[in-house]
Chains A and B, each alone.
Chain A
Amino acid sequence: MTADAHSPVVEGRGIVQDYAVPGSLFARAGKVRALNGIDFAVEKGKTLAIVGESGSGKSTLARIIALIDAPSSGELRIDDHPVDIARKRPSPALRSKVQMVFQNPYGSLNPRQKIGNVLMEPLVINTDMPASERRDRAEAMIKKVGLQPEHFNRYPHMFSGGQRQRIAIARALMLNPSLLVLDEPVSALDLSVQAQVLNLLADLQEEFELTYVFVSHDLSVVRYIADDVMVISKGEAVEQGSREALFADPQHPYTRALFAATPITDVAAIRARVARRQAARQG
């Protein structure tokens, strides 16, 4: 556990990720720099949102933080200890600390595995807990994320998208992680279901003092859930700051372009647009 409440749960220093592009008859082999020297730190119980468009490298960064991929260079520190998965396989204890939730909940669940087994599997792999206790924990977690006890023996296809995302979140929480990496967790969901899942994430964060790294392209969701925001474009962190500062006064042209492109549901803006349109028609 952290010695100091203000020391970051996860910290990155100069994270770089290169992907090798294989050569062919006509092209020389090369490298694509997906991330170029990213620095960040997230304190316990806080949410860092990583915002960017497709190809910006936001998911690459999420996979590095979730200990799935090793960065090409740079240092990742979890609970103030350097972690290098390229050199040393992470221990079960470290794996338990960091868990990930993906965008497509159906794609991240095995269609032939019952929900109860989905939830118990991390415990089988990472702990030596007896079967009866595993079952108790899984049943408790099913209730915690707002599902019913009878869902224990059902298969993923029997659930709606929102329920599946609850299952994915439940599985990520089975090992009592301190850090949850959420890669576009609500992008595939309907608006009303999105609201339910965002509420659930807020409740769970409060209850378990979870730290979130929340990857999203949706600025309205980010504004709702984040404490700090990092805007990333073409592998560079173009702007970083507290949510209030960033939304009140975006500095970088790319951030401003993102804001300008986000649709506004404000009544005054709609009135102005309708008036413009009527004027154009008459004119």
Chain B
Amino acid sequence: MALLNIKNLTVKFATATGSFTAVDGIDVHVDRGEVLAIVGESGSGKSVSMLAVMGLLPDTATITADEMTYDGRDISNLSASERRHLIGREITMIFQEPVASLNPSFTVGFQIEEVLRLNLGLSRDDARARALDLFRAVGIPEPETKINAYPHQMSGGQCQRVMIAIAIASNPRLLIADEPTTALDVTIQKQILDLLMKLQEDYGMALILITHDMGVVAETADRVVVQYQGKKMEEADVLSLFEAPQHPYTRALLSALPENATGDRLPTVSDFFAQEAAR
């Protein structure tokens, strides 16, 4: 049975010039322990659909769905307190800008202990001990020193490790990572992706990875959803997607990768749509 199941999700934003549809009838499901990659370019609605699940969209957004269930429970009409029990415990999320996701005024130790005390009801001492364990689990060097550091005293990669530690603090069953490595260097990206995959296996959590980077998809995903302008273009297991992409947009995206360049010129998505139209 699917852990998270969403059918026909539509998200509309009220703007000054009328309603704008960011997500247009998307179906997403993720199974226990599965790694799903949602891939798309900017404006494809890949982040918005997951923010809708988390209830993090502003009031201008109208969310409709035929079905929105987590572990068999309907999550479309949760009260605020029910949502708090679910989000941050069962389902957690990390974002693209790790430094901006942390509060600059508090030490990273305070921020992770706050989560542990509020969500798990741990005492101060227990929270400190658990925080140190988590810092070790995500590979922060010298956790006893770093736990008293402020976010600005740590590098981007270390801040992302802190975010991951906070996200896994309550043993979630689903972690949503929205472009977790986009702001990081490629060697740090590798470390963070390896860490996420290891934690995913150790904790048996499902992972939804939102990304624009086909390389990240290739290195992590079990299954892939390709989105374009708010619509789902294609869904396939990772091997079939790279081996035999079905949708022209997916083919266009893959051939626009510089490493797949065959001649002097890179084919672009618009070239591809023109070719398809000519056929």
Contact = CB atoms under 8 A, between A and B. Distances in A.
Interface in A240-273: 257-258, 260-267, 269-271, 273
Most chain A C-beta atoms within 10 Å of own C-beta, residue among B187, B254, B270? B187
A101 B30 CA distance: 42
Contacts of B219: 263-264, 273
B214 A267 contact: no
A271 B237 CA distance: 11
Interface residues of A, number: 38
B243 interface: yes
A168 to B, nearest CB: 18
Contacts of A219: 186
A195 B222 contact: no
Given A224-B266, A267-B239, A192 B253 contact: yes
A161 B42 CA distance: 10
A191 B257 contact: yes
Given A54-B185, A199-B266, A270-B242, A220 B259 contact: yes
B201 A280 contact: yes
B186 A194 contact: no
Contact of B214 (A258, A260, A265, A277): A265
Interface residues of B, number: 39
Contact of B218 (A190, A195, A225, A263): A263
A262 to B, nearest CB: 6
B218 A270 contact: yes
B260 interface: yes
Central interface residue in A53, A191, A221, A270, by most chain B CB within 10 Å: A191
Contacts of A271: 239
Interface of B: 41-42, 156, 185-190, 201, 212-216, 218-219, 222, 237-239, 242-243, 252-254, 256-261, 264-270
A87 B44 CA distance: 51
Contact of B215 (A190, A265, A273): A265
Contact of A265 (B42, B237, B254): B254
A218 B182 CA distance: 12
Given A199-B268, A223-B258, A224-B258, A261 B243 contact: no
A261 B257 contact: no
A258 B187 contact: yes
A53 B186 contact: yes
What DSSP secondary structure best describes chain A's contact surface?
Answer: helix
Given A192-B256, A263-B219, A265-B260, 8 more contacts: A190-B41, A192-B252, A192-B268, A195-B258, A196-B268, A218-B258, A223-B258, A266-B218
A63 interface: no
A270 B42 CA distance: 25
A106 to B, nearest CB: 13
A35 to B, nearest CB: 18
A77 interface: no
Contact of A192 (B186, B189, B213, B269): B269
A220 B258 contact: yes
A258 B238 CA distance: 24
Contacts of B238: 270, 274
Given A190-B212, A192-B269, A261-B186, A221 B242 contact: no
Interface string A32-64: 000000000000000000000110000000000
Given A221-B258, A263-B218, A191 B243 contact: no
Nearest to B269: A192
Contacts of B187: 53, 257-258, 261
A202 interface: yes
